[in-house]
Amino acid sequence: MAEKQRFQAIKGTRDLLPPETALWNHVERTANEIFSTFGFGEIRLPIFEPTELFARSIGADTDVVSKEMYTFVENPGVSSLEELRHIAVQMYALHIKDGFPDFFLALIRSLIHLVQSKSQVRELEIGSQLQSDLERMQLILNEYEKLSSSEELHEKEKKSKLLSDLAIKIQLLRFSDRVSLRPEATASVCRAYIQHGMHSLPQPVKLYYTGPMFRRERPQKGRYRQFYQIGAEVLGGTDAPAIDAEVIEMVMTFFARLGLEGAKLDINSIGCRECRPAYVELLRAELVKVKDQLQPDSQRRIETNPLRVLDSKLESEQPVIEKLPRIAEHLCSACAAHYASVKHNLVLRNVAYHENWRLVRGLDYYMRTTFEITAPGLGSQNAVCGGGRYDGLIEILGGLPTKGIGFAIGEDRLILSLQEAGKAPAPRRLDVYVAWMGEKTYDTAVRAARALRGAGFAVELPASAQKFGKALGHADKLGARYALILGDDEVASGQWTLKTLSDGSQSKFTEPDLLAHLKL
């Protein structure tokens, strides 16, 4: 006999089950309540967007975009072309330098041929960009073939240049739009702001969202491949420090309302386009001096993104990092004043903070305020909220220059922390179990259940008649407060029996009296 297949949720994803989902609902309802008192409205966004949106906003060379996104092509008919393209790119990287171009060239010819056949049978629409890319590739191929097989140096150089041109072309070839499951939602909110012309609304526009995000990360406690964020963005208007402080105040108010204790707020200012570049250069110069005391990742970042070295959690690098120059001492006067005012505004709002000069964001459009909140009970993945100002982002995405600040809370981690601290409110209990016996009582049982549910009580109405003892046992297991006992006697007399399950006491009620009694 064939073995039965047992399906499991994919690694890094999980089912959220009752009663835990009651806590998720409570958290989301609380976010809705608190955020609306700060004037935020909810935005619901698509789960997938053009890959390019994330590449531009988060940055094509970040881990999130380059390694962790779930990306697919819009037109499944092109997947064989995509595979061929991928193989050709790899083949070039691996073998061309060894001087074996034949397979590579044959592959490209097949690819061009396949594209043409797919277009003839209408499996693929060749747009103008693809058309001109293909023509250019064909020209390069023709030119290559015209060259003799002579081993003369300048001929060899010409050939290798043509092959490299082909490799570049093929790398950029796009057969279909690519879409990605969103790894975060700020880019989508900004896209929506531009798309719906929200700059013509009263500014700033204040939006919040909740929902799943997707990143192919190594799963561990508090880190999943499908995780949930609750986030908010303030777009447009000014970059007044009061806005930064109010956004932070809102998160802290939300956490306090949930009873989250021990949340720690770290803040920093990372300057602006005026002052940060000089600091980054200074940092780079200092890092070069201590390069041999750093590990390979940090060594690489000295060139690519020195600010990211400050993120390092490696024990051995800590003493070195502690001695590096700090950005607070290199802010321009406008940024220093902005930062001072954010701190003053936080004090005004009774929000306690710690300054953490190592809290940075590597991308250019991040400006000035950054913040992170950690919560207890989460082990190494203890960041429960990250946020900051990103005044350049909307412009990068094709909109007008627009101020922006926002945050994202990791809902999974927030919930873990609440659970660890025993802060999960008790899930809703079953109020009444309708223990009906005998077919003749069924109508009354249905009517009673309808009336009780209509009055807002949680009611369990068994689908078939049960023996008295079994019904009470079931009611107990479900944690019901009361059992409403409906037998022939009760139906005939109109006096229903209500049993309090905690102490076993029983009383008789008419239908209206019962409702009145339960509502007390």
**Residues near ligand AMP (CB under 6 A):** 184, 215, 217, 222-224, 227, 229, 383-386, 408, 410, 412-413
Whether 153 contacts 182, CB under 8 Å? no
Instruction: Please classify residue 226 by burial: count the beta carbons closer than 10 Å to its beta carbon, then call 0-12 exposed, 13-18 middle and 19+ buried.
Output: middle
Helix 102-120 with 79-95: angle, nearest 10 deg: 170
Report the chain's C-alpha Rg in angstroms: 32
How many other C-beta atoms are found inside a 10 Å radius of the C-beta of residue 352? Answer: 10
Q: State which residue, 51 or 229, has the beta carbon closest to ligand AMP.
A: 229
Among residues 231, 273, 276, 235, the alpha carbon closest in space to that of 254 is found at 231
Instruction: Choose between 359 and 484: whose C-beta lies nearer to ligand AMP.
Output: 359
Q: How far is the CB of 45 from ligand AMP (least distance, A)?
A: 14
21 vs 138, which CB is nearer to ligand AMP? Answer: 21
Nearer to ligand AMP, 22 or 64 (CB): 64
Instruction: Look up residue 68 and give its two tokens.
Output: 């962790």
Of 366 and 433, nearer to ligand AMP (C-beta) is 366
Residue nearest to ligand AMP (CB): 410
Supply φ then ψ for residue 288, to 5 degrees: -60, -40
Instruction: Name the 3-class secondary structure at 332.
Output: coil
Q: What is residue 418's DSSP assignment? A: H
The distance of closest approach from Cβ of residue 435 to ligand AMP in the complex, given in angstroms and rounded to an integer, is: 44
Nearer Cβ to ligand AMP (386/392): 386
CB of 465 to ligand AMP, least distance (A): 48
What minimum distance in Å lies between the beta carbon of 354 and ligand AMP?
16
Distance between CA atoms of residues 435 and 449, nearest Å: 11
Backbone angles phi, psi at 189, to 5 degrees: -60, -40
Of 399 and 410, CB closest to ligand AMP:
410
With contact defined as beta carbons under 8 Å apart, do 393 and 191 qualify? Answer: no
Q: Nearest distance from residue 41's CB to ligand AMP, in Å?
A: 21
Q: At 284, list the tokens.
A: 């780079």
Distance (Å, whole) CA 50 – CA 54: 8
Q: What is the DSSP string of 432-476?
A: EEEEE-SGGGHHHHHHHHHHHHHTT--EE--SS---HHHHHHHHH
Q: How far is the CB of 366 from ligand AMP (least distance, A)?
A: 11
**DSSP run (H or E) holding 404:** strand 404-410
- Of 306 and 410, the one with the shorter C-beta distance to ligand AMP is 410
- Kindly state the smallest distance separating residue 489's Cβ from ligand AMP, in Å: 57
User: What is the smallest separation between the CB atom of 370 and ligand AMP, expressed in angstroms?
Assistant: 10
